[in-house]
Amino acid sequence: MEAYLDNSATTKPCPGAKRRLAEAADVLWGNPSSLHQKGLEAQLLLEEARSCVAKLLSCSESEIYFTSGGTESNNIAIFGAAEAMKRKGKKLVVSSVEHPSVSRAFDRLENNGFTVVRLPVDRFGVVRVETVENAVDEDTVLVSMMAVNNELGSVEPIEALSRIVKEKRSPALIHVDAVQAFGKLPLNVRKLGIDLMSISAHKIHGIKGAGALFVRDKVHLVSPVFGGGQEKNIRPGTEPLPAIAAFLGAVQELDAKKNLLAVTELRDGFVEKLCALDGVVINSALDALPYIVNISLPGRPAEAVLNFLSAKGIYVSSGSACAKGHRSPTLTAAGLETERVASSLRISLSRYTTKDELDFCLEGIEEALRTIKKK
- In the sheet that 344-348 helps form, which strands lie side by side, from edge to edge? 281-282, 292-296, 344-348
Closest by Cα among 144, 183, 175, 132 to 289: 183
Q: Which residues contact 289 (CB under 8 A, 6 or more apart)?
A: 148, 153, 154, 155, 180, 181, 184, 185
Q: How many CB atoms lie under 10 A from the CB of residue 111?
A: 9
Rounded to an integer, what distance in angstroms lies between the CA atom of residue 364 and that of residue 314? 8
Amino acid at 346: R
Q: How many CB atoms lie under 10 A from the CB of residue 210?
A: 27
- In the sheet that 173-177 helps form, which strands lie side by side, from edge to edge? 64-67, 211-215, 196-200, 173-177, 140-144, 91-95, 115-119
Query: Considering 14, 59, 275, 322, which one is annotated as catalytic?
Result: 322
207: left (phi over 0), alpha (psi -120 to 50) or beta: beta
Q: Is 361 among the residues known to form the active site?
A: no
Amino acid at 227: G
Each residue of 66-83: b (16+ CB within 10 Å) or e? Answer: bbbbbbbbbbbbbbbbbb
Q: In Å, how far from its chain's centre is CA 19?
A: 24
Closest by Cα among 34, 54, 14 to 241: 34
Rounded to an integer, what distance in angstroms lies between the CA atom of residue 368 and that of residue 164? 47
Question: What are the phi and psi torsion angles at 358 (to 5°)?
Answer: -70, -40
SS3 198: strand
Q: Strand (E) positions, 81-210?
A: 91-95, 115-119, 140-144, 173-177, 196-200
Distances (CA, A) of 243 to 240, 248, 256: 6, 9, 21
Residues designated as active site: 322
